Chain A
Amino acid sequence: MRTSGLYRAVAGSSFRRYATYRVATAAGVFTNTIFGFFMSYTFIALWDQRPDLGGYDQAQALTFAWVGQGLLAATAVIGGGFREELQERIRTGEVSIDLYRPVDLQMWWLSADLGRAVFHLLGRGVVPLAVGALVFELALPTDPLRWLLFCCAVLLALLVSFAINFLVALVAFWLLDGNGLNMVSNLLGMFCSGMVMPLTVFPEQLGTFLQWLPWAALLQVPADVLLGRYSGAGAFAVLLFPLVWAVVLLLLGRAVQAAATRRVVVQGG
């Protein structure tokens, strides 16, 4: 009971920490909205010529674009999450203090990252989506159950995103400098999640392959759930996919964490 209260407090203070940067949040909303507009015009031009491309009609494709912009900051697809901070603590050795604390490293950062992500969902997620819905004709559902399923999918997306970034951050125990790896990770995230283009629009085999990778859980699955591509039992079944990836990657993160902490040698006194 006491530890769960602690993690809630960590998440809460992380939420408040990001909530203090009001100008930065407003600037982020502005940028996400601008990119949403540019993507929308491209999608309109494309779907005008190819209605039903990738199994979406135009309104669904536009919804996909705006949901992507809304989730971009929360899932930290192109950075901006906790990863750089943890890497810096590993590089400077401050992580030894974190390891000395009577809390679990992974759970600590997971709580902090969830706090950040929920703030970014509210701060940089809702507003761009609302602007998109006002200006363009989106295919947003009216069924509350589908929104509930979407929220579950988003929550799982946050878990998968954390698990990937945690693994990437831990590599700093071996590499020290994470810049190159971060860049590769951001590229994979951007491309394989569907942020550039829905994965169903990709060349067939590549698209099918990418839909099995964990990044698909970050946007492709939540967007498809919201658009109602899966109905009835299928909607629950599709949530199994991000759930399995989240569990696998989080367990892998624990294993790497155990291996990494055995390496830590605290210098000085």
Chain B
Amino acid sequence: MWFRSTLAYRASFLLTTLGHAASSALEFAGILIIFSHVDQLGGFSVGEVALMYATASCSLGLADLFLGNMDQLGARIRDGSVDTMLIRPVPLFAQVAADRFVLRRVGRIIQGVLVLGWAISRLDTTFSPLEYVLLAGVIGCGAVIFGALWALGGAFQFWAQDAAQVQNAVTYGGNRLLQYPPTIYGTELLRGVTYLVPLAFVNWIPLLRLLDRESPLGLPGWVDFLSPLVAVALCVLTAVVWRVGIRTYRSTGS
């Protein structure tokens, strides 16, 4: 329904889709400005950094498309409309996800795919068909990890109610983090986004394998293939937290 309602206003749809593409394009412009002054950043070439940018952008775009509305949950809890949703015979999660489904968010994905193509053309190595499959898997797993973190943030609002900004720090902030090579960050930060909030599995860890690079944390090789497992584990965790959240949820009254 939201799908059709968005398409009803064609001009507005086109404009906002372009806007979404342009807003992520500006982040990429920042990267290009940096590379107009240097050949390498943290030991990575412009093609390699563009690959990181593109995979992070596609993963975030996909997660945003399906679960971006999770940050509305806090507002819905405050104004009490969650109560209405809870008595409907459809799981709350599906309702929040489908609520105001905004197709214009494909803008970020389209722009990400374009940069992805450009990045691959700039790389010295050519990928084998298997490596292309791996690349698609990276984007898919990354989307699930971003999505789970988004939903986890949403579930957290059952308790915090007003912390959508914290969620943005993890998702949009994580996106900003993963657009640049891991070698420019401090070790503590890298440990944090590997073991604590597993953002590194969105693209850094599998991409380092694809690009034949050493892990800056010196992790063993098999860790490079853990992204699907991390994604599944995060989904399970999110499901549990979501359920506990609903059970402890108290309506705001009135």
Contact = CB atoms under 8 A, between A and B. Distances in A.
Q: Are the chains A and B members of one assembly?
A: yes
Interface string B5-23: 0000000100110011011
Task: Decide if the interface of chain B is mainly helix, strand, loop or mixed.
Answer: helix
B165 interface: yes
A42 interface: yes
A50 to B, nearest CB: 5
A37 B190 CA distance: 13
Interface string B220-251: 00000000000000000000000000000000
B29 A53 contact: no
Contacts of B176: 35, 38
B15 A50 contact: no
A41 interface: yes
B173 A31 contact: yes
Contacts of A269: none
Interface string B149-182: 0000000000011111110110001001100100
A236 interface: no
A38 B163 contact: no
B190 to A, nearest CB: 10
A251 interface: no
Contact of A28 (B27, B34, B38, B165): B165
Nearest to B181: A45
A102 to B, nearest CB: 33
A31 B165 contact: yes
B87 interface: no
Contact of B169 (A30, A46, A49): A30
B12 A201 contact: no
Given A30-B169, A31-B169, A187 B23 contact: yes
A122 interface: no
A193 to B, nearest CB: 12
Interface in A194-236: 196-197, 201-203
Contact of B23 (A37, A50, A183): A183
Contacts of B168: 31
B33 interface: yes
A190 B34 contact: no
B162 A187 contact: no
A203 B36 contact: yes
A41 to B, nearest CB: 5
B72 to A, nearest CB: 14
B91 to A, nearest CB: 27
B132 interface: no
Contacts of B113: none
B42 interface: yes
Interface core residue of A37, A38, A44, A186 (most chain B CB under 10 Å): A38
A50 B42 CA distance: 13
Given A183-B19, A201-B37, A30 B166 contact: yes
Contacts of B30: 196-197
A147 interface: no
A202 B33 contact: yes
Interface in B31-48: 33-34, 36-38, 40-42
B37 A23 contact: no
A34 B19 contact: no
A50 B164 CA distance: 37
A183 B184 contact: no
Interface in B176-199: 176-177, 180, 184-186, 189
Interface of A: 21, 23-24, 27-28, 30-31, 34-35, 37-38, 41-42, 44-46, 49-50, 53, 177, 179-180, 183-184, 186-187, 190-191, 196-197, 201-203
14 contacts: A21-B162, A27-B166, A31-B169, A34-B173, A37-B189, A38-B176, A41-B186, A45-B42, A45-B180, A46-B37, A46-B38, A49-B38, A180-B19, A196-B26
> Which 6 A-B pairs give the minimum distances between C-beta atoms?
A27-B165, A183-B19, A45-B184, A180-B15, A31-B169, A23-B162
